[in-house]
Structures are given as C-alpha cells and as structure tokens.
Structure 1
Amino acid sequence: MTDTPPHARLTAALSEDMAAVGDLIRDRMASENAPRIPEVTAHLVEAGGKRVRPLMTVACARMCGYEGTDHIKLAATVEFIHTATLLHDDVVDESRQRRGRPTANLLWDNQSSVLVGDYLFARSFQLMVETGSLRVLDILSGAAATIAEGEVLQLTAARNLATTEETYLKVVRGKTAALFEAAAQVGGVVAGVPDAQEQALARFGDALGVSFQIMDDWLDYGGAGDGIGKNLGDDFREGKLTLPVIRALARSDDAERAFWRDALERGKSEDLDRARTILDRHGTLEETRVEALAWRDRARAALAELPASDLREMLGDLADYVVARAL
C-alpha cells in the first residue's frame, strides 16, 4: 500500500461520484417544515467521517462496470441508514461523543435524535424505491431490519456474563456487518453482475464489517482514545460483552470473575486499568487482533473472485486498513 490511506485513494479515484453522493445527501436531508432535521443530520453527516460504506457501494458498482447513476442513490441510501442508526445508538447507549464531537442527543435532546433518525430511515426507503429494483429494496430493507435485530440482541446480552462467542458474532453481523454487506452487494446488483459475483461482493462486505467491528472492540481496550471517535472504555462502562472479555471470562479465576461481575453485571466499571490487566494476562487482546486479521483474510479471498482492476486492489487495501486503524 502507498502512504495514502485506501479510503482516500478510493475517494480520489471516484471523486465525481462521491461529490454527487454528497450533493444528494444534502438535498434529501433538507426539510422545509422542520429545520431541526437538517441541523441534526448535518452535525453527523458533515462531521468529517470517511463515508466508507457509501464509498464501497460506488466502488463496487464501478468495479463491476456500471455506467449509470443509480449507484449514487444507493450510496446515499447506505449513508442515511448508517447515520440513522448512529443517532439511535447514541440515545440507547447514552453516548456523549461521536467522531470526536458531542453527540446530537447531547447537543439537542433524545427526542430530536430519535425522530431525525426516523426521518433518515424514511428518506433512505424513498431513495431505494427510486432505483426501481425490487432486488435492491429487498437487500437494503433486509439490512435495516438486521441492524435493528443486532442492536436489540446486544441490548439483551449486555451485562450478561453467560454471553457466548456465537451470540457476540450474531451481534456483530447484525449491528455492523449487515450494512457493509449490503453496501457492497447492491453495487454489484445495480451493475447486473452474475449471481456468483454478487455473492462474492456480499461475502466481502460481511467479512470486512466483522473485521471492522472486532477491531473496534479491540480498540476500546487496546487503542488510543484519539482517533477512534469515542471515549476509551465506552464498551466496558456500558457492560458490553465483546470478544476479548468473553474469552477472558472463560479463563478467569474466582477473583477475576467477581471483578467482571461487579464491573459488567452491576455496572461498577470504574477500574478500566484492571480490566485491561486481566485481558493482557489471558492474552485475549492479541487473540482479538488476530481474529480481526482472519476476517480480513476472508474479505480479501472473496474479493479475489472478482475481475482484477485498480478498484479491486484499493478495496483489498481497505480490508487491510480496517485492522490497522479505526475508520
């Protein structure tokens, strides 16, 4: 890879398309009757995010030879779904920081965040329908439902020390990987690729999303607070059973389990340093990083089933990038 991050190279290679996506997002987030909607939406949309998910849709469509304009609508759809879920997640998690800035629910209120999120979901469905493709509608609406399922599953699993790796993976595939998968897959669908290539794109997006989320969970304990878009230890304080914790729990002695019970089940999560010490003792942070790399390899293997091109190479580099730093 060059010194320029792959998402930046993709954005430069697809600059006209991504500019059109930005214009469409700004146009469709407008509201004549409720000015708070564009205010709240712009707080997130214009916050300097890398727009990796819509970038994937545009890149996959162009990689597959698409020459029309519906991929612009689909990319905007993906970004609206993503932004809506962020607005809702911050309310559920009572978050105070997102992408290094105060969250919308902190600046405005929970009601505004929830209702603006609902508005963006509605806008996303309008954009889906405009493509005239029932297949696209099926994939993206299915992803929206799966994301909600993943979030509810995470909510019910929080502070439950009996949470298994199987449940954890279901949460990850739901709340994060589902949109990565759909973002890549619809790019192939709009381009009219054969079913085998469409499924390869779906596997690429799924594996990339899982890798991304596992690495994000590693960063919550092992990364630096700057640059990950949230406070270090957020998952710990919220009682989330992520992969490094699940594996450490399976190996913990009675004293360590008592600590996890107090910290996660009872919400007494003041001692992040001790949690990190236990994770290091059992080697689960390093195992988590290795697991993220394994999913990265699956993403690259799926991508290899598609015709070689510069865009394919950059998407492969993107898979490497997600395990090198947070997006």
Structure 2
Amino acid sequence: MSATVTPIRGDTSPPSLDPVMSLVSTDLNKVNTVILDRMRSDVPLIPELAGHLIAGGGKRMRPMLTLACAKLLDYPGDRHHKLAACVEFIHTATLLHDDVVDISDQRRGKKTANVIWGNPASVLVGDFLFSRSFELMVEDGSLKVLKILSNASAVIAEGEVNQLTAQRRIDTGEDRYLDIIGAKTAALFAAACRIAAVVAERDEDVEKALDAYGRNLGIAFQLVDDAIDYVSDGETMGKDVGDDFRDGKVTLPVILAIARGTDEEKQFWRDAIEGRRVSDEDLAHAKDLLIHHNTIADTMTRARHYGQRAIDALGPFANGQAKSALTEAVQFAVARAY
C-alpha cells in the first residue's frame, strides 16, 4: 500500500481528543470496568488511594491509543480491553512513584496521593498496580505482548533513574535529555500502540509503524510538557508552575538557553540548577531568558517535528475515522500549550 502523508493541520480550528474518544468510547467503558475490578482489594487503602489518581481527571490517553490502534487495524476481538487497562496501571504506578521522588503536592489540580496518604502508602500502592498490570499481561497469554509491556516497564524505570542522576547537572546535554524522555514517556506510548498490532496478528512492519507513531507522539507530548512548565499556569497544567525549575531538572528549553547564553546567564543557570536560586523572582528571570533566546518556541518547533513524524508513521494505513482520530490526537498533544 502506498504511503499517505497527512500534514500537521493548517486550519484554525483547535485540535481535540474528541474524535479518538468518540471512536473508542464503548471500548473505553469496558476498559474502565476492568480497571475498577482489578483495583479491588481487601485492604481498603489500596482502592481508595489508587482510585484517587485513576479517577482524578486524566484523559486515559495511553489506553485510548491501544484501543484506537486496534480500531485502525479492524481488530474484532476483546483482548485489547485488558491490555489497555494494563497500560493504564503501568502509567498510574509510575505517577505515584514520580510524585514521591519529585516531592510533588499537586497533580491534575488535586492534592497528590503522597500528600494525603504519605510516601510509603503511595510507593506500595504503586507496586500493587504494577503487580496487577503483570497479572493482566499473563492472562492475555501472549509472550510477545508480555515482552513488549514488561520491557516498556523496565525502560520507564531506567528513564526515571537516568533523570534522577541528571538532576541538578548543568552539563546535561540534548542527547541525554532525549534519551530520558524517550524512556520515561515515549516507551509506554510506543508499547501501548504496538500491542494492538500483536493482538490483531499483523506483521512486523505494522508493529514497527505503530511503535513509531506512539514513540514520536510520546516525545512530542513530553517536549510540550517541558515547555508548558515555564509558560502556562497552575490551573491549566494541574500542577505547580516552575516545578522543573525548582527541582533542578534540565529540560530542553533550559539546555538551549544555556547554550545560547552569556557567561553571566550561564552562571545564573548553574546557580538555579544546583538549587541556589529558586525564588519566584529567579523563576521570572528564567522565563525572561527562555523567551529572550526563543527556547520555548524552539522546543515547540521540535515537538511539532516529532508530531509530524508520528503522523507520517500512519502513512501506510488506509484513510478513515481511526486514522483521522489518531492524527488529530497528535495535533492535540502538540497544541496543548496554547
């Protein structure tokens, strides 16, 4: 089949997740049933804490990708319901652990679980959700699915450790940054899409195409997140503005600003990243430097580049509702900052 390239949209209407949500709504209800069922436990704290995050306003983007990719392939079965729930459990477990590591107190506009129930409970319930995800993988019965999702879980953990060791290091470069976001964010996007090709029993080329779609979408998604951290507001983001700055995380906007800055600016970034300049005034100064050197705009340009690569990966597939919805999902991810 010849490739069909669909460009990033050129019209003025805001992109939305509504098409993909409409496409998978019936399937997503079945996934939510699995999630609620597998969150059950005789220990009341487990469903209480897990439910706080799972029901906390997330868009379910990763499981929706599994369902939408299955639609793209005209998969007629129901294996993807449990696997989409598995993907959501992996994602939720990593969020619980991340909030403990980052000492976060807000997510999606609500208090984080670690603030309400404490760090030990958050870590242990995260472990519970990881365990549930592996139960669902095993129940599916496919060694290939198990390999894809278990590998993604390991890669995510490696990415988080890599980010932790890069924290407060001004010498963190763009290559390492891309390695970090490729692991901690894009790996699960890629796996969520790829497993749809496995359950639909498609060949390796289809698997690779969906993997490429998800991976590039994940990178674009994280690039936008890292730009938003400096230019959006707490209400829009659902987390505190400037968290990355205060945590000493060296993201692409900062990497570019350091490379383009004067000696005086480089010293400011060194002091900020190492934790000596983290006041509101310092954050405002950081924003000014990022704007002056166009690094937010350039980060968004990179996000659009990876978004286009994701859309291009859908080229071999037939045009239709599923392909259109998956394309607009990319456009939505890239447009979130505005």
Q: What range is the shorter-chain TM-score in?
A: over 0.9
Quick check: 1:22 aligned with 2:32?
A: yes
C-alpha deviation, 1:3, in angstroms: 6.2
2:294 maps to a residue whose letter is G
Moved more, 95-104 or 265-274: 265-274
Quick check: 1:51 aligned with 2:52?
A: no
2:116 maps to a residue whose letter is L
Question: C-alpha distance in 1, partners of 2:186/2:153?
Answer: 11
Match of 1:323 among 325, 328, 334: 334
Which aligned segments of 4 or more residues in structure 1 are displaced greater than 3 angstroms? 1-6
Contact 1:97 1:103 (C-alpha < 8 Å) held by counterparts: yes
**Structure 1 unaligned regions, length at least 5:** none
C-alpha deviation, 1:227, in angstroms: 2.0
2:185 maps to a residue whose letter is T
What is the CA deviation profile of residues 114-159 of structure 1, one whole-angstrom value per residue up to 9, with x for unaligned ones? 0000000000000011111000000000000000000000000011
Quick check: 1:286 aligned with 2:297?
A: yes
Question: C-alpha distance in 1, partners of 2:183/2:14?
Answer: 31
Question: C-alpha distance in 1, partners of 2:124/2:276?
Answer: 29
Q: Which residue pairs with 2:144 in the alignment?
A: 135
Quick check: 1:264 aligned with 2:273?
A: yes
Quick check: 1:191 aligned with 2:200?
A: yes
2:58 maps to a residue whose letter is G
Instruction: Give percent identity, aligned residues only.
Output: 51
What is the CA deviation profile of residues 80-123 of structure 1, one whole-angstrom value per residue up to 9, with x for unaligned ones? 00000000000000000001100000011000000000000000
What is the CA deviation profile of residues 42-90 of structure 1, one whole-angstrom value per residue up to 9, with x for unaligned ones? 0001111110000000110121111111100110000000000000000
C-alpha deviation, 1:16, in angstroms: 1.5
Q: Which residue pairs with 1:85 in the alignment?
A: 94
Q: Which residue pairs with 2:315 in the alignment?
A: 304
Give the 5 Å matches for 1:142-291. Answer: 142-270=151-279, 271-291=282-302
C-alpha deviation, 1:4, in angstroms: 8.2
Contact 1:136 1:189 (C-alpha < 8 Å) held by counterparts: yes
| TM-score, normalising length: structure 1 | 0.97
Question: C-alpha distance in 2, partners of 1:42/1:227?
Answer: 22
Secondary structure (helix, strand or coil) at the match of 1:323 reads helix
User: How many pairs does the alignment contain?
Assistant: 326
Quick check: 1:31 aligned with 2:41?
A: yes
What is the CA deviation profile of residues 287-323 of structure 1, one whole-angstrom value per residue up to 9, with x for unaligned ones? 1010000000000000112222211111001100101
Moved more, 265-274 or 95-104: 265-274
Secondary structure (helix, strand or coil) at the match of 2:17 reads helix
1:320 maps to a residue whose letter is Q
1:185 maps to a residue whose letter is R
Cα RMSD for the two superposed structures: 1.5
Secondary structure (helix, strand or coil) at the match of 1:227 reads helix
1:189 maps to a residue whose letter is V
C-alpha deviation, 1:267, in angstroms: 4.2
Question: C-alpha distance in 2, partners of 1:212/1:261?
Answer: 27
Question: C-alpha distance in 2, partners of 1:125/1:241?
Answer: 32
Distance 1:70 1:4, change over 3 A: farther
Q: Which residue pairs with 1:10 in the alignment?
A: 20
Quick check: 1:70 aligned with 2:79?
A: yes
Contact 2:19 2:328 (C-alpha < 8 Å) held by counterparts: no
Question: C-alpha distance in 2, partners of 1:254/1:18?
Answer: 52
Q: Which residue pairs with 2:105 in the alignment?
A: 96
**Structure 2 unaligned regions, length at least 5:** 1-8
Question: C-alpha distance in 2, partners of 1:3/1:187?
Answer: 30
Question: C-alpha distance in 2, partners of 1:278/1:7?
Answer: 33
Contact 1:60 1:187 (C-alpha < 8 Å) held by counterparts: yes
Secondary structure (helix, strand or coil) at the match of 1:285 reads helix
Question: C-alpha distance in 2, partners of 1:5/1:37?
Answer: 36
Q: Which residue pairs with 2:5 in the alignment?
A: none
Which structure has more relative contact order (CA 8 Å, sep 6+)? It is: 2
Contact 1:6 1:315 (C-alpha < 8 Å) held by counterparts: no
